[in-house]
Amino acid sequence: MTFAPSDLATLATLRPVQTRSISPENFDGSAGGGGRATEGTGASCARDLGPGWKISPSVDVKAGETFDLARIQGSGKITHIWITTHTDNWRTLLLRAYWDGAEEPAVEVPYGDFFCNGWGVFAQVNSQTIAANPHGGFNSYWPMPFRDGARLTLENTSTVDVRIYYQVTYEVGGDHSGDAYFHAQWRRSNPLEDLTPHVILEGIEGQGQYVGTYIAWGVNSNGWWGEGEIKFYLDDDTDYPTICGTGTEDYFGGAWNFDIPGQGYTEFSTPYLGMPQVIRPDGLYVSQQRFGMYRWHLLDPIHFATGIPKVDIQALGWRSGWRYLPLRDDIASTAMFYLDRPTARRPKTPSADDLEVHLGTAPVPDIGATPPRDPRA
């Protein structure tokens, strides 16, 4: 597989592939199929101009329904996804990806978490594989190869219809018989059980490489919260892991509590790791600190030969006497990995209640939401 760091060196290489793109202006990505729409969400705006003038820039996904973002036949590779919707939809939409006609998804992640924005509040992300730009322009550059078809979907788990703008760019042709399949899984501990690490991934069988972690971490206690270690149990590991970190901020590339003296928690975003989001209490309804952190193993992928029994992370703070304090925080993690097969063991699909975070700064999450969420019996 060719990752982005090599792409500049090979950009001039002639390859037997063709580029295609799926959007509301070309739902099947066909050659010469763009800009032909005669109806769509922009038809009224283009009434003076006619076909070819942004008649179908977006789609409306009804409450409770699943929409196919892309259906691709044959062999190929998704190279870029751009997508946007209102911030209030970032934890009510589930993004899924299916490879080679599989019935089970390889990717099942809340929309916002996949793009390192898990709290329904925008954070700028400047990384090599994920870019989140003002105000909610989400981009993925994760290579997603497939051998016999691909399907991307969005499920709207909310009670209101939502509007989505998107574009999926991909290559057709090429030989992907030696490529692994992209997977992403989401898990949430809310709150974390007592004296129990948060599980990021478990029960994965096959050969591949672990390539990334995003965590939306909600702190429920005073004091520092990131003393916990992350552990990677690889291949035949059982009681003890092959890879053991030294602290939460260490794994995400920071140090000394992410605390610059005199400035406090300090956001940062780099090509491979970052803490782009710090949400501070407002003294009213935003009562706890919330953080968003990512770590991409692009130059240092974690290879495994037969599987990943488990990846987990501890939540540790401090109590008196310089003793560690196990915490019961709200931790939602997204694990990215490549695997030699299109399906893998995964957690149960989260419900709308499992996904929910409090929207905005009002006493009730529905107040001021867009679209409005009216009281229901």
Can you tell me whether residue 257 is helix, strand or coil?
Answer: helix
Strands 107-110 and 181-189: parallel
Contact 251, 182 (CB under 8 A): no
3-state helix, strand, coil split of the chain in percent (to 5) is: 5, 40, 55
Percent of the chain scoring above 70 in pLDDT? 98
Contact 73, 355 (CB under 8 A): no
In this predicted structure, the answer to whether residue 62 has a pLDDT above a threshold of 70 is: yes
Burial 57-94 (b: 16+ CB within 10 A, else e): bbbebeeeeebebbebeebbbbbbbbbbbebbbbbbbb
Q: Which residues pair with 359 in a beta bridge?
A: none
22 vs 34: CA distance, rounded Å: 9
**pLDDT tens digits for range 105-118:** 999 999 999 999 99
Contact 176, 78 (CB under 8 A): no
**pLDDT tens digits for range 167-193:** 999 999 999 999 999 999 999 999 999
| Residue 123: both structure tokens together | 């954070």
Please list, in sequence order, all residues whose beta carbon lies within 8 angstroms of the beta carbon of residue 184, skipping any fewer than 6 positions away: 97, 106, 107, 108, 109, 114, 334, 335, 336, 337
Please list, in sequence order, all residues whose beta carbon lies within 8 angstroms of the beta carbon of residue 64, skipping any fewer than 6 positions away: 156, 157, 159
101: region left, alpha or beta (phi > 0 left; psi from -120 to 50 alpha) = left
Nearest one of 32, 137, 23, 31 to 90, comparing CA atoms: 137
**pLDDT tens digits for range 121-151:** 999 999 999 999 999 999 999 999 999 999 9
Can you tell me whether residue 75 is helix, strand or coil?
Answer: coil
- Please calculate the CA angle 353-274-223 and round it to the nearest 5 degrees: 70
* 309 residue type, one letter: P
Q: For residue 7, what is the enclosing H or E element?
A: helix 4-10
Per-residue pLDDT band for 321 (boundaries 50, 70, 90) equals: very high
**pLDDT, position 371:** 84
Contact 255, 333 (CB under 8 A): no
**pLDDT tens digits for range 243-298:** 999 999 999 999 999 999 999 999 999 999 999 999 999 999 999 999 999 999 99
